[in-house]
């Protein structure tokens, strides 16, 4: 996939993500999307809905440290500090580590000026000569820069992505590999894969459930698709559930990654 990423007709563009540098080493971000589009069942969004936003902003902060290397998301963790009831959604980044093999970025998400979600994102560095991947890069120096373009999301995020729940009790959820959710390598974008695990975990717990803590470890990428998630409830305590999710490429059952989610059931 050549050219600037993300393209206009893409889920990341529809989230209205903007970034700006404040000084030499501080990157801030914001999402112009209506927070109501991120949730399900008229509830505040689960943390999985924030992963596409957090991933792209963290990548923008990590990119200068990668030099000429490409980057791939290896691990993402999000913890809800307070439900996102309204916007605006703002992000503050901090570079935790810039090594030869990995770059780690911390992000604080604020909603209406209040702390909402804490997150860390780890990227694996990939030598430019080790892949045929090609994409553009954005210069975010100066004022606010929109990453992508086009209209903002006008429907629920999960509906726009095309998630299909085939067996709620088992948390079986699928999403097709399509340009709308593709990353710059042409496979399913990592934030969307992590959101898939959120949808799976919540489906297994029941209607109205919401993921408040999520850690996703990426092991491979979707080659053909669809991506398929399945969930197992490993612990329950009143309204609180711990759910393990595995994501595979349904074309060959190759394990793509796994997540551990903390899910709050509906009252």
Looking at residue 129, its pLDDT comes to 64
First-to-final CA distance of the chain: 45
Lowest mean pLDDT segment, chosen from 180-189, 207-216, 241-250:
180-189
Whether residue 43 is contained in a domain is answered as yes
Whether residue 3 is contained in a domain is answered as no
Whether residue 6 is contained in a domain is answered as no
CA distances (Å), origin 23, targets 4, 27, 28, 31, 111: 24, 8, 10, 21, 23
Whether residue 46 is contained in a domain is answered as yes
Confidence label for 152 from pLDDT (cuts 50, 70 and 90) = very high
Whether residue 5 is contained in a domain is answered as no
Q: Which domain holds residue 49?
A: 11-264
Total domains present in the chain: 1
The string of DSSP codes covering 140-207 is: --SS-EESS-SPPP-S-HHHHHT-EEEEGGGTEEEE---GGGB-TTSSB-HHHHHHHHHHHHHHHH-T
Looking at residue 128, its pLDDT comes to 74
Mean pLDDT of 80-103: 97
User: Could you tell me the pTM of the whole model?
Assistant: 0.93
Whether residue 2 is contained in a domain is answered as no
Whether residue 41 is contained in a domain is answered as yes
pLDDT tens track for 102-149: 999 999 999 999 999 999 999 999 887 654 444 444 455 569 999 999
| β-bridge partners, 29 | 19, 91
Q: What CATH number should be reported for the domain holding residue 29?
A: 2.40.160.210
Looking at residue 185, its pLDDT comes to 81
Whether residue 95 is contained in a domain is answered as yes
């Amino acid at each position: 996939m050549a050219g600037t990423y993300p393209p206009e007709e893409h889920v990341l563009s529809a989230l209205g993500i903007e970034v700006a540098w404040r000084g030499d080493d501080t990157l801030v971000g914001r999402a112009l999307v209506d927070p109501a589009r991120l949730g399900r069942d008229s509830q505040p969004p689960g943390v999985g809905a924030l992963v596409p936003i957090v991933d792209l902003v963290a990548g923008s902060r990590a990119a200068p440290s990668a030099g000429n290397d490409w980057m791939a998301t290896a691990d993402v963790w999000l913890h809800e500090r307070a439900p996102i009831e309204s916007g605006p959604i703002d992000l503050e980044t901090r570079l935790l580590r810039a090594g030869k093999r990995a770059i780690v970025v911390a992000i604080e998400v604020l909603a209406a000026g209040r702390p909402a979600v804490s997150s860390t994102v780890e990227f694996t560095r990939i030598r430019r000569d080790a892949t045929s991947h090609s994409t553009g890069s954005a210069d975010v120096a100066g004022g606010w820069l929109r990453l992508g373009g086009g209209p903002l999301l006008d429907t629920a995020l999960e509906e726009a992505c095309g998630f299909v729940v085939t067996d709620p009790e088992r948390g079986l959820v699928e999403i097709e590999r399509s340009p709308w959710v593709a990353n710059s390598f042409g496979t399913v974008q990592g934030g969307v894969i992590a959101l898939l695990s959120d949808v799976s975990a919540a489906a297994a717990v029941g209607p109205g459930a919401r993921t408040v803590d999520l850690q996703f470890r990426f092991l491979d990428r979707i080659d053909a698709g669809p991506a398929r998630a399945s969930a197992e409830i490993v612990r329950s305590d009143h309204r609180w559930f711990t759910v393990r999710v595995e994501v595979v490429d349904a074309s060959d059952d190759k394990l793509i990654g796994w997540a551990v989610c903390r899910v709050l059931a509906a009252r």
